[in-house]
Chain A
Amino acid sequence: MDHKAGINPLWLFKMAWRDSRKNRSRLFLFISSMVLGIAALVAIYAVGDNLNRDIDAQAATLIGADLNLHSNKEPAKPARKLLDSLKAKSTDYAEEQSFASMVLFIKGQGTRLVQIRALEGDYTFYGQIESTPQRASKTFRTEKNVLVDRTLMLQYNAKVGDSVQIGKLNFNIAGTLDKAPGQSGFASTIAPSIFLPLQYLAKTGLIEKGSRISYNFYYKFPSTLNVDQMVTQLSKVFDKNDLDEDTISSKKASTGKSFADVTKFLSLVGFIALLLGCIGVASAVHIYVKEKMQSVAILRCLGLSSRQAFFIYLIQITVIGLLGAIAGSLLGTLIQQILPAVFKDFLPLEMSTRISWRAIEQGLLLGVLISFLFSLLPLISIRKVSPLNTIRISTEEQKTDKDIWRWLVYLLIIGFIACFARLQLHNWRETLIFTGSIVVGFGILYGVSALTIKLIRRFFPNAWSYIWRQGLSNLYRPNNQTTVLVLAIGLGTAFICTLFFVQSILIGRITLSTKENQANMIIFDIQPAQKAAVTKLTQGLGLPLIQEVPIVTIRLQEINGLTEADNKKDTANRYSNRAFNSELRVTFRDSLTSSEKIVAGKWQGIVKKGDTARVSLEQGYANRIRVGVGDKLLFNVQGVMIPAVVGSIRDVDWNRIQTNFRVLFPKGVLDDAPQFHVLVTRVPNAATSAEFQQKLVSAFPNVSIIDLALILNVVNQILDKIGFVIRFMAGFSIITGLIVLISSVLISKYQRMQESVLLRTLGASSKQVFLITAIEYLLLGAIAAFTGIMIALAGNWALARFTFDIPFSPDWLAVLVILVCISLLTSLIGVLNSRSVLNRPPLEILRKNN
């Protein structure tokens, strides 16, 4: 009989089914570690998938028109002509001027910097401005009415019908602005808007030369007109007239891209949860395979080949992996239903909760792939099981580190992580950093567990009491869980701590700015004629003049004779195109401030009449646009061309609360250019701040005030919201870590049962067995948590040092609390899972076990 041909693949499935009979509940326990990771990813994928569809469906309401042309400059005659020609083609047209300004809520005398949006026409053409009452979104346009953002209404306890002073005019609040097209709840926290009719804007007196106004023109075209085609054709003309364009399709692309970044980040967070779960799967399969060695040896004795034995268990794990993936996908789909509530503040559109089959497919594929990959590592040892084990345990220990398959599986796993990261990040550098960090993190944790085992063996405290010695020796004896638990708990701890530290760094960075003697209020948009009066008012209240600088708005026209068009044509692309696109706010003075340091060239403070100005560029900016000392620049100062040479490069400390500039002119060039002034001061308390702001807004309605206390408050709110989303996603990792912990402890319980029962039979009291278990898991938890915290500290120190450039001073008390909590939690779970051994007579357990 041809034995080789005789084996039916179906028999392998049948055998896998039979063999799993008495272990199914445990197999599900193994796989439970990955369920949450799959759930997190399916939920995020579904959100991404639905978001793409929602953006497609709601793109028109994001922009509210077929075409939005916008500029930071008031359109000149040719531009106006172009705008009018488009208006003639349109079926509907609207115009908006927006800028930041102070407003005063008359009733409560509260002042606040807001985004003024002065509107003319029937905008929006798609979707609507949502207000309470809804009719106010239409009626406010005809009278001296305004729509005020809900956050402002709540902050200043304002009611519909109250008055608000904007510039020189008082407006009646016609309604609460609930939602403007394309604006998320998040955006309204940062820059709350007030809508008013454009016809009253001039009378507010806020529009003066030098004011920073954004001009928007909205068009609705007949459906027969191909807007994208028209915009492509006119693109150069728009460019020439300093007009930027947004269409429904470009808005769709840009919105999609920004949310792709968010879902990308969140899916990486979810993936870490899944990887954590994979450690659980690998460790569980490892123990499972160990217990199955005898069965494999028997089957090998009866004629089963090593490959067939391998496949029997691979089938079991893959099928269980599929079931785990199905469970994860179902849970993910359920979680997806609540995610819109979590994300609502970040989204400018309504998010649907339909089931995403694509996300479920991805979850299933990922679940099967991951359970397959991570179980391969322990499963390959099945190939080495000798049939000799049926008559005696092999005397020669298998040397797995020389097995080429094992290294191949390691490579496969790293390759899989890299491929997954690449698919999310679309960038090899970030992919390498992500994969490298994971590998290094795992490496450190593995190294620490190996070192712990070695050190405990080497320096075993023989003089300690029996209970401590037993608890300690459990860390290195056969079937110990040290490596698995250190990996799972350590990685989870590192993750939790990183989130905690990053939040502290961000908040620390902001609060640093509010410390004593630092400036905390910036007043800008001060017109030259108002400068002296504002200074007098400030000093009159006893407030210091920390800085008072003129600001001129300019654009870069040429670099070494090359215009933007020339540079685009130049194949060498010597200078960054971005250099020509952005508007620059610059100042002029004869000396450097304490936050500036020349790193190349020579600073020139004054330029003689007729000489070319030697400007100073901030180091980062010079690098970005790729220019250096000696390069010739031509600036467009509101229509007047001014040549200059890069005279020096400066290093600027951006962390100081003061005005800092990318381009600094010497005195003698821009002195007569249209400009506004900025004044930086420090107010000692909230009462002085309110008094100062009220006096300023009443006397100079056009000036704007940045109150850092308010900014700090807003940033805290934003961080809270971001923190909630991150914590929500990190929650998957934390719970997965707990499941891995519980399942690892449960698995080790099976291993330790016999020994604990034997101890009890020999006369050990429940308390002694309890203490041995508690000590073992307390030590494990402490080692793992300590290593995880160290990894997080190192990572966050690097982040603070190299990215945020601030000193890293972690909250050591919080670190200690995390260390103690995780150690105690591990010990508690260990003891709780072993309680069946503690509370029952030994014979009962022995019988049950047999």
Chain B
Amino acid sequence: MFENIKVIRVSEILSVSSLNKSYTSAGTALSVLQDVNFTINQGSTVSIVGPSGSGKTTLLGLCAGLDRATSGSVKLNGITLDNLNEDERARIRNQYIGFIFQNFQLLPTLTAIENVMVPLELRGERNVKSRALALLDKVGLADRGHHYPTQLSGGEQQRVSLARAFSNSPKILFADEPTGNLDTETGHKVEKLLFDLNTDAGTTLIVVTHDLELAGKTSRIIRLKAGAILSDDLESVHYGS
């Protein structure tokens, strides 16, 4: 009955199966994530939402290879991260992943342009200045390239952070509360810039937030509660609604 239906196979960029994470704190085991399973397709935009302490940031850390799961598996761009050592995971991050943080995480001793150049330089690429400048231009900061982070406002710092996140043309971009430290107006500007750049680059975007308005702009919402998936709204397409 399906012979007339053309099946389009969309490739998976991220696959998480039976993921568990627990910490030992003051001698007591504390379970932060329990049996988390999902897959994310290339080019999609996903938000992970949930109240404070629900395990959002922990999940992001595990998906991005910043930490190891207690059990379960994470596959990113076809590569299983579980058994890679820290340096191998660092290489994966540099090649396939971009990051945006709530508190910007720019290197304070580097100028804006140098911050954007770092991921490219880490790859050993040369003549990266023009590309970094072009990215700064895209975020509207071409004339602020030689300023240090402390000389930029919060919004400007996050725009530099956006430029840096896209500098290595990542396959997947993780954003942890990207507008959490910004006022509403600046937050909206940064959000727009984030989605515009993402659309242009065709990057998979995973946003961790408790801002439901921001989450509503993604094509899929995964809701977490007490370390488990409460709902995975694959069908909801709220963007523009």
Please determine whether chains A and B interact with each other in the same assembly.
yes
Closest beta carbon of chain A to B167's beta carbon, Å: 9
Nearest to A6 among chain B residues (CB) is: B124
Closest beta carbon of chain A to B173's beta carbon, Å: 13
Closest beta carbon of chain A to B175's beta carbon, Å: 11
A18 at the interface (CB under 8 A from B): yes
Cβ contact within 8 Å between B93 and A391? no
Cβ contact within 8 Å between A19 and B107? yes
Cβ contact within 8 Å between B118 and A302? yes
Cβ contact within 8 Å between B67 and A390? no
A486 to B118, CA, bound (A): 41
Q: With A298-B107, A302-B118, A304-B90 known to touch, is A396 a contact of B61 (CB < 8 Å)? A: no
Cβ contact within 8 Å between B123 and A1? yes
Cβ contact within 8 Å between A3 and B93? no
A7 to B122, CA, bound (A): 6
Stretch from A20-28, A33-41, A476-484, A732-740 at the B interface? A20-28
A11 at the interface (CB under 8 A from B): yes
Nearest to B62 among chain A residues (CB) is: A388
A15 to B117, CA, bound (A): 11
Cβ contact within 8 Å between A386 and B123? no
Main secondary structure of the interface of A (DSSP, over half): helix
Closest beta carbon of chain A to B189's beta carbon, Å: 23
A295 to B106, CA, bound (A): 8
A628 to B99, CA, bound (A): 86
Cβ contact within 8 Å between B107 and A303? no
Nearest to B93 among chain A residues (CB) is: A303
0/1 string, A37-78, CB within 8 A of B gives 1? 000000000000000000000000000000000000000000
Cβ contact within 8 Å between B95 and A3? yes
B-chain residues with CB within 8 Å of residue A11 when the two chains form the complex:
121-122, 124
Q: Which of B87, B90, B109 contacts A21 (CB 8 A)?
A: B109
Cβ contact within 8 Å between B122 and A4? no
Cβ contact within 8 Å between B109 and A19? yes
Closest beta carbon of chain B to A552's beta carbon, Å: 83
Cβ contact within 8 Å between A302 and B94? yes
Cβ contact within 8 Å between A390 and B99? yes
A300 at the interface (CB under 8 A from B): yes
B-chain residues with CB within 8 Å of residue A390 when the two chains form the complex:
66, 99, 101, 105
Size class of B's contact patch? Answer: 35 or more
A850 to B90, CA, bound (A): 31
A-chain residues with CB within 8 Å of residue B25 when the two chains form the complex:
395
Q: With A7-B122, A20-B109, A295-B109 known to touch, is A307 a contact of B87 (CB < 8 Å)? A: yes
B156 at the interface (CB under 8 A from A): no
Scan residues 186-212 of chain B and give those whose CB is less than 8 A from a CB of chain A. Answer: none
30 A-B pairs whose Cβ atoms sit less than 8 Å apart in the complex: A1-B125, A3-B94, A6-B123, A8-B124, A11-B122, A14-B121, A18-B114, A20-B109, A22-B108, A22-B148, A294-B105, A295-B108, A299-B118, A301-B93, A301-B99, A302-B118, A303-B90, A303-B119, A304-B94, A304-B122, A305-B87, A386-B66, A386-B86, A388-B66, A388-B67, A390-B66, A390-B101, A391-B61, A391-B176, A392-B61
B238 at the interface (CB under 8 A from A): no
B239 at the interface (CB under 8 A from A): no
A390 to B176, CA, bound (A): 10
Given contacts A22-B108, A391-B60, 9 further A-B contacts (CB under 8 A): A14-B121, A295-B107, A301-B66, A301-B105, A302-B119, A303-B123, A305-B87, A391-B66, A396-B23
A-chain residues with CB within 8 Å of residue B101 when the two chains form the complex:
390-391
B-chain residues with CB within 8 Å of residue A307 when the two chains form the complex:
87
A387 at the interface (CB under 8 A from B): yes
Closest beta carbon of chain B to A68's beta carbon, Å: 69
Q: How many residues of A contact B (CB 8 A)?
A: 37
Closest beta carbon of chain B to A260's beta carbon, Å: 48
A-chain residues with CB within 8 Å of residue B99 when the two chains form the complex:
301-302, 390
Nearest to A394 among chain B residues (CB) is: B67
Nearest to B176 among chain A residues (CB) is: A391
A687 at the interface (CB under 8 A from B): no
Scan residues 117-154 of chain B and give those whose CB is less than 8 A from a CB of chain A. Answer: 118-119, 121-125, 148, 150
A-chain residues with CB within 8 Å of residue B121 when the two chains form the complex:
11, 14-15
A805 to B31, CA, bound (A): 68
Nearest to A390 among chain B residues (CB) is: B105
A-chain residues with CB within 8 Å of residue B105 when the two chains form the complex:
294, 298, 301, 390
B226 at the interface (CB under 8 A from A): no
Nearest to A22 among chain B residues (CB) is: B109
A-chain residues with CB within 8 Å of residue B119 when the two chains form the complex:
302-303
Cβ contact within 8 Å between A395 and B23? yes
A-chain residues with CB within 8 Å of residue B124 when the two chains form the complex:
1, 3, 5-8, 11
A131 at the interface (CB under 8 A from B): no
Closest beta carbon of chain B to A151's beta carbon, Å: 64
Q: Which of B24, B60, B90, B123 contacts A300 (CB 8 A)?
A: B90
B-chain residues with CB within 8 Å of residue A7 when the two chains form the complex:
122, 124
0/1 string, B58-78, CB within 8 A of A gives 1? 001100001100000000000
The 8 closest A-B pairs by CB, nearest first: A303-B94, A6-B124, A305-B87, A388-B66, A387-B66, A21-B109, A3-B91, A303-B122
Closest beta carbon of chain A to B151's beta carbon, Å: 12
Nearest to A298 among chain B residues (CB) is: B105
Closest beta carbon of chain A to B241's beta carbon, Å: 30
B-chain residues with CB within 8 Å of residue A3 when the two chains form the complex:
91, 94-95, 122-124
A-chain residues with CB within 8 Å of residue B176 when the two chains form the complex:
391
A14 to B123, CA, bound (A): 15
Nearest to B60 among chain A residues (CB) is: A391
A303 to B170, CA, bound (A): 12
A-chain residues with CB within 8 Å of residue B168 when the two chains form the complex:
303
B41 at the interface (CB under 8 A from A): no
Closest beta carbon of chain A to B121's beta carbon, Å: 6
Closest beta carbon of chain B to A252's beta carbon, Å: 57
Q: With A302-B118, A305-B87 known to touch, is A391 a contact of B109 (CB < 8 Å)? A: no
B110 at the interface (CB under 8 A from A): yes
A-chain residues with CB within 8 Å of residue B67 when the two chains form the complex:
386, 388
